[in-house]
Amino acid sequence: MTENEYIKNLYIREDAVLKKVKKSMTVNGMPQIALPPDSAKLLYMLARISGAKKILEIGTLAGYSAIWLARSLPEGGSLLTLEIEEDFARAASQNFIIAGVEDKVSITVGDALNSLSSLRDSGENFDFFFIDADKIHYPDYLEMALEMAEPGALISADNTFWGGKILDPSDREETTEKIRRFNRMLSTDERLESMIIPTGDGLAVARVKEA
């Protein structure tokens, strides 16, 4: 047994709802790229520990990670999740009802950058962000998140190892380069305190410094 297997066996428990959400991905023809359960549990704990009350998620898919995050919210908390695919958003909405979190979660359908621009322009702010959408726009999503982040907010992102591709210097593919740039931004931006946690495919976590 490996260390990761030990952790998963001892600490990670997916209930019937979460298992149904994963099954719905197959039924609705979605790619099988939901957040790994160990990363989801960590994300839940980060949101819970930070006391997040207003969460923004970029990339919904079937709603798996959104359900974990919604369960972390206190009474009166809210989560807004952005999804480009209308069919995926419809399926996720049904999953939120099954999970009993529909009163805490809302979905905006459309291009995430356009949705983020509208949120920023309307003066919206959030205290927790989770980025798990098209990787080529990760640097843009980070910049937009910083513009809407409350002091002390957490910004998290999945797939920051990109299946190990970022470690291969010969891989100059555009998406790989964008993930590398995103990781460098996290590590060098003076507004942030950051770390990549080696769970799943690399879960990045950054805290927005208070002025």
Q: What is the pLDDT of residues 60-111, one digit of tens each?
A: 999 999 999 999 999 999 999 999 999 999 999 999 999 999 999 999 999 9
d(CA 172, CA 166): 9
Give the domains, in start order, of the chain with CATH numbers.
Answer: 3-208 (3.40.50.150)
Q: What is the pLDDT of residues 30-71, one digit of tens each?
A: 788 778 999 999 999 999 999 999 999 999 999 999 999 999
Of the CA atoms within 13 Å of residue 135, those in its CB half-sphere come to 20
d(CA 70, CA 172): 37
Q: Which of these, 195, 171, 181, 193, lies nearest to 135 by C-alpha position? A: 181
pTM, two decimal places: 0.95
- The pLDDT-based confidence of 139 (bands split at 50, 70, 90) is very high
d(CA 41, CA 101): 17
CA distances to 46, 88, 198 from 144, in Å: 21, 23, 25
- pLDDT for residue 113: 97
